[in-house]
Structure 1
Amino acid sequence: MSAFRKAFSTAVAAVLVTVLAAPGALADEKPKPSKTPVPPASMSTVGGELLGRPGTQVSLGAGAPVLPKDLTGRSWIVADAESGQVLAAHNAHWRLAPASTLKMLFADTLLPRFPRETVHKVAPEDLLGIGAGSSMVGIKERLSYTVHDLWLGVFLRSGNDAVHVLSAMNGGVPKTVQDMQARAEELQALDTHVKSPDGYDAKGQVSSAYDLTLFARSGLQNADFREYAATATADFPGEMKKPKKGDKAKKPAKREKFQIQSTNRLLTGDAGLEPYRGIAGVKNGNTTHAGATFTGVAERNGKWLLVTVMNPSGKESNAVYKETARLLDWGFAAADKVAPVGELVPPRSVPTDGGDAGGVQASAGPGASASAPAPSGAAAAPRAGTKGGQVAAGGSAGGMGVAVALAGGVLVLVAAAVFLVNRRWPARAAAVSSGSPAGSVSSPPLEASAPSKSSAPLKASAPSESSASSKSSASSKAAPPADPAPESPASSEPGSAKD
């Protein structure tokens, strides 16, 4: 009887094990939702049809190196800054939170409006509305700063306080946001929806690797933009130092200064990261929602490349900079051995091959109300297409900007590089007229000069304290597009800038 009971107990236990294990087994057979965000199946085709496809787009020719394996960015792009040809891209039009890289659009919009020597006394209301945890340069209310000081604060320290003061000078944050959106429309950056001038996380605020690269390329047409983007360190005004009580000399109060350093780690270097050879800017960003973002421009052997990386998931320190460096290395090695997969389109108002203003007719993707055809008489920008497995894109060579190389941590000029103003965009027709929007005003070619504390107007220089004053220009009157539904995971809590 005991043997029977033992056999019966064993059989019951086996059944129970099978029954209890079955639900788990069945559950394992069901596909689990991926925690990794997936790009939309269809995105904007501005700049070429291939750029609207999810995944990596590249057309390797004979002898071309393969792309780096350790790339984790949700979106990235490698482009020739002069011709506008896109050498490779990964989810180029995926709309993601931009963080402080959006400050490139802010600078491209506002830099031409205020002469750099203009002095502004900061009112308490100028600093209202700055997001919690924002990166700051240290501006104090009721103290005066030059526009030059403020732009140093924007570019070097990614100071949201400097952004808000400049926005106040421009008529307020709402007007500045509207002006930035209009500028994005003019640049045909149709993935971008501006909600805050400083890039601080806001519901519905998105951009793309493609658009951020357009902002950088446009901004680099401005001599001041190039100077600020390439500046590694600078002195910044501090508080007023009052004379001590009982001082018989009765010396007047003196303004203190403190040094600020760029947050662009490819420019300054960091622990385990050397400054990138040939780097000349442009802008980094980092928020809770956006992750790390970066757009960089570099020169090597006369070739200028722009690279943007958004939200890498790699665990290595300074991942966004290291992945940018890998893509730059690849781009310089592959530049003449790949067929372009698209192009960086010129601004709407810039003449294209036929002499008419540009204007894309390619789809701008979901939620982009700015995808309407160009005004009557405007020619569509060349689109990339495929034939026999090879990709071809229109556009001719154009000038890029000041040639600055980074050697041994010190910025030096590459004397042979000259800024060709009348070839700034991929257009073979007339040069831009002086009535064009900000960032496209004609001026004499830049001349290379040795690093100095002060340089003559419109001369390229290494990081310095002074350069040419910018001219004011009217903002575009294009209406901002409708609010999009963000294509990246939404967050109900605002992010904190950590630039």
Structure 2
Amino acid sequence: MSFRLLAVAVCTVLLPVAVPTAATAAPGRTTAVAREVPCPRVAVPKPAPSRPPRPSPPPPRPEDRAVGGEALATVGLVVPDGAPRPPGVTATSWLVADLDTGQVLGACGPHEYATPASVQKLLLAAALLPRLDPAQVVTVTREDLDIEPGSSAVGLVVGGQYRVETVWLGLLLQSGNEAANVLARLGGGAEGQAGGVRAMNETARRLGARQTRAVTPSGLDGPGQFTSAYDLALIARACFADPTFRRYALTETHQIPAQRRPRTKGFQIQNENQLIHRYPGALGGKTGFTNLARHTYVGAAERGGRRLVVTLLGAEARPLRGWQQGAELLDWGFSLPRDTGVGRLVEPGELEPSPSAAPVPRAADARPAADPLPEGLTGPGPLLVAAVAGVGGLLALVVRRARAPRRRRGRRRA
């Protein structure tokens, strides 16, 4: 082999293959990065907190990972061309989007499966807040208080009677898991709590949150329960479109009323989301934590007539708490021009299959064929049909007899 051929062979093996990037959709707008760009991370101080083994997520589906744009189908970082580098956070995945336009400004592993913890309560609100009367009074049952010992609770008591609005505020301000059970049971109708969870999953599908599956109404860990940073943004967008939710999310304190039976004193609850106390223009959000999910967070804020939302999953509270990481990502999002983005949040119902239109019958085929009656069908319907058919047959026989020629006498009649 000649020296020139040997050099070409060596370069072919050693040099990396250039991966072309997708063309920019418009000047200053999104660029889909073909190679994976590592997300900015902040090291967690030692010793790292213990974490239970992560459950196996469902198999990834390419069509689900590309929801909102091809650029979002990445486990790494995706930001607009020329955008400043996002701040380093401990979250394993995050996303920043515009609540009004639906434009995704940047993300890290937006479609990666993760466990939600209490930010799943936003899905409960998106599903049931429009259905339940806030003035209705609900009585708490013993089953409603069946929550994990030591988990967050408002302090509702068995037999206590509370307005639905109070239960919602207990859910969103204090992250009450028993409040989630009460609302899911009430909204689930005859199915009870299971019906409320089913409504949550139906809402997730309608919103386009294909990677979200609720098992518990509160976000307490359950087998097969997952979400993603992108899905959380869809859910949060639906929540913040509701004026009642926006009012609840900005409520700082609420008085839980005293109960006569059983006799308990009233007490005050405070909003745990520090964003509304410490971030100018905050619109509210939701905190979450379990040992499995670690810290999860959703927060929204308004600046200069622009409303942004941030979602993050799998974060640690050191060196910054979840809401503080969210605040830094919001600052980064507000620093970007309005016409930049890397994808979009799909609209509710956009991904649902449209019902196929039934073919219009032609004039000759206008009369439909009769369906056979099910076995065991009883009642006046079949009897009436049989009677009408019998009368019709009898009349037809009489007409034929009248029109038939007179037969000779002595001939045997049929």
- Fold match by TM threshold 0.5: yes
TM-score (norm 2): 0.68
Report the equivalent of 1:60.
81
CA deviation after TM superposition for structure 1 residue 314, in Å: 6.2
Alignment of 1:299 with 2:302, yes or no, is yes
After superposition, the Cα gap between the structure-2 partners of 1:314 and 1:149, relative to the gap in structure 1 and judged at 3 Å, is closer
1:78 corresponds to: 96
Matched, 1:149 2:191: no
Between the aligned partners of 2:331 and 2:67, the Cα distance in structure 1 is 26
Q: Conserved in 1, the CA contact under 8 Å of 2:153 and 2:178?
A: yes
Amino acid at match of 1:150: V
Structure 1 segment 377-456 matched on structure 2, within 5 A: none
Aligned AA for 2:256? F
CA shift, 1:120, in A, is 1.4
The unaligned stretches of length 5 or more in structure 1 are 1-34, 243-252, 269-274, 349-357, 361-372, 378-499
Q: State the match for 1:394 in structure 2.
A: none
2:183 to 138, 143, 166: 166
55 and 300 in structure 1: CA distance in 2 versus 1, 3 angstrom threshold: same
Deviations 1:260-319 (A, max 9, x none): 011112123xxxxxx11111111110011000001111001111101111112462141x
Give how far 1:241 is off.
9.4
Q: Secondary structure at the match of 1:134?
A: coil
Q: Any idea what the Cα deviations from partners look like across 1:379-403, whole Å, max 9, x if unmatched?
A: xxxxxxxxxxxxxxxxxxxxxxxxx
Give the deviation of 1:126 after TM superposition.
3.2
How far off its partner does 1:335 sit? 3.4
Tell me how far apart the structure 2 counterparts of residues 94 and 75 of structure 1 sit (CA, whole Å): 7
Cα distance in 1 for residues equivalent to 2:327 and 2:173: 20
Instruction: Give CA-to-partner distance per residue, 1:149-186, whole Å, 9 cap, x none.
Output: 10110010000111111122223221111111011000
Task: Please state how far the C-alpha of 1:339 moved relative to its aligned partner.
Answer: 3.0
Q: What SS does structure 1 have at the residue aligned with 2:205?
A: helix
Matched-pair contact (CA < 8 Å) for 1:41–1:53: no
Please state whether the residue corresponding to 2:265 is helix, strand or coil. Answer: strand
Q: Counterpart in 2 of 1:113?
A: 131
Supply the AA of the counterpart residue of 1:143: G
The structure with the largest helix share of the pair is: 2
On the 8 A contact 1:282/1:295 being kept in 2, the answer is: yes
Separation of aligned partners in 1, 2:337 and 2:265: 48
Correspondence for 1:100: 118
In structure 2, what is the Cα distance between the partners aligned to 1:165 and 1:296?
A: 25
Equivalent position of 1:359 in the other structure: 351
Using the size of structure 1 for normalisation, the TM-score is 0.57
1:343 counterpart = 2:344: yes
Name the counterpart of 1:328.
330
Residues 375 and 241 of structure 1, relative CA distance in 2, 3 Å threshold = closer
Aligned partner of 1:283 in structure 2 is 286
> SS at 2:129's partner residue?
helix
- Displacement of 1:114 in angstroms is 1.7
Structure with higher RCO (Cα < 8 A, 6+ apart): 1
2:65 aligns with: 44
- Code of the aligned partner of 2:164: V
Q: Which one-letter code corresponds to 1:262 in the other structure?
A: N
Report the 3-state secondary structure (helix = DSSP H, G, I; strand = E; otherwise coil) of the residue aligned with 2:184. Answer: helix
Counterpart CA distance in 1 for 2:252 and 2:81 is: 36
- Cα deviation per residue 1:360-419 (whole Å; 9 max; x = unaligned)? 7xxxxxxxxxxxx54448xxxxxxxxxxxxxxxxxxxxxxxxxxxxxxxxxxxxxxxxxx
Contact 1:241 1:256 in 2 (8 A): no
The residue number in structure 2 matching 1:311 is 314
Q: Deviations over 1:201-236 (max 9, x none)?
A: 111100011111111100112121111111121111
Asked whether the equivalents of residues 192 and 211 of structure 1 are also in contact (C-alpha less than 8 Å), the reply is: yes
Q: What amino acid is the match of 2:66?
A: T
Q: Hey, what's the Cα distance between the residues in 2 that align with 1:67 and 1:188?
A: 27
Structure 2: tracts of 5 or more residues without a match? 1-50, 358-414
Tell me the number of residue pairs that the alignment of Structure 1 and Structure 2 aligns: 299
Range 166-175 or range 102-111, more displaced: 166-175
Query: Structure 2: how far apart are the matches of 1:161 and 1:313?
Result: 25
2:195 matched residue in structure 1: 175
Relative to structure 1, is the Cα distance of residues 376 and 44 closer, same or farther in structure 2, using a 3 angstrom cutoff? farther
User: What residue is the counterpart of 1:132 in the other structure?
Assistant: 149
Q: How well do the aligned residues superpose, as a CA RMSD in angstroms?
A: 2.5
Structure 1 position 72, deviation (Å): 2.2
**CA distance in 1: counterparts of 2:284 and 2:309, whole angstroms:** 10
Which string of whole-angstrom CA distances, capped at 9 and with x for unpartnered residues, describes residues 86-123 of structure 1?
Answer: 01010001110000001001011111122111111223
CA distance in 2, matches of 1:200, 1:339: 36
Residue 213 of structure 2: aligned partner:
193
- SS of structure 2 residue aligned to 1:260: strand
Residue of structure 2 in register with 1:261 after alignment: 270
From the two aligned structures, give the one with the greater strand fraction.
1
SS in 2 for 1:238: coil
Describe the shift of the 1:238–1:82 C-alpha distance in structure 2 as closer, same or farther (beyond 3 A). Answer: same
The 1:168/1:359 distance shift into structure 2, 3 A limit, reads closer
Q: Measure, in 2, the Cα distance between the counterparts of 1:209 and 1:346.
A: 16
Give the structure 1 partner of residue 252 of structure 2.
232
Residues 1:313 and 1:119: Cα distance change in structure 2 (over 3 Å): closer
Pair member with larger Rg: 2
Distance 2:205 2:61 in 1: 24
Q: Cα 1:163–1:90, aligned 2, differ >3 Å: closer, same or farther? A: same
